[in-house]
Amino acid sequence: MIPNIIYAIKHKNQVAVYDNKVAIAFEQIGRYGSFVFMIFNIPYTYIGFWFSFGKIFYITVNAFLLLGYCLSWIVLWNKNGIVKALLLSIIPSLVFILSSILIASIPLFLFAVIFSIAHILISIRNAKKV
């Protein structure tokens, strides 16, 4: 979130080029649904870590994805294009999807897929129009 906040402050007057209200709505629904189900679990909709070292694997995988996201963001700070758009949209999508698989959470998986499709679509369309 910190890289996104810094970007928003630096580019506060920048308007999104791809302005599809439906895609944006699905992205937000997926994003906030994923946030909620990363924190809260509804009984009988998730299994939890389904192998013995699941929690360690979960933390390790998410730490590497976070590191990859931050490094991509730093390296590509002054660049625009499809590579930046893909990296900075696929990595957060992987965080949500892999987390849902590792804890076997059905709602998290559904919201993660909705977020991923919409977020990647919006990122690619914005990159192509810039």
Q: Are 107 and 38 in contact (CB under 8 A)?
A: no
Amino acid at 19: D
User: Is residue 119, in this structure, part of any structural domain at all?
Assistant: yes
Provide the token pair at 57. Answer: 């694997």
Indicate whether 68 pLDDT > 90: yes
User: Is residue 100, in this structure, part of any structural domain at all?
Assistant: yes
User: Is residue 9, in this structure, part of any structural domain at all?
Assistant: no
User: Is residue 8, in this structure, part of any structural domain at all?
Assistant: no
Q: Give percent above pLDDT 70 in the chain.
A: 89
Predicted local distance difference test score (pLDDT) of residue 22: 96
pTM of the model: 0.87
User: Is residue 128, in this structure, part of any structural domain at all?
Assistant: yes
Q: Alpha-carbon distance 88 to 84, whole Å?
A: 6
Q: How many domains does the chain contain in total?
A: 1
Instruction: Provide the domain limits for residue 101.
Output: 79-130
User: Is residue 89, in this structure, part of any structural domain at all?
Assistant: yes
User: Is residue 43, in this structure, part of any structural domain at all?
Assistant: no
81: left (phi over 0), alpha (psi -120 to 50) or beta: left
User: Is residue 127, in this structure, part of any structural domain at all?
Assistant: yes
**Distance (Å) of CA 14 to CA 9, 27, 35, 90, 98:** 10, 19, 25, 22, 32
Average pLDDT of the residues of the chain: 90
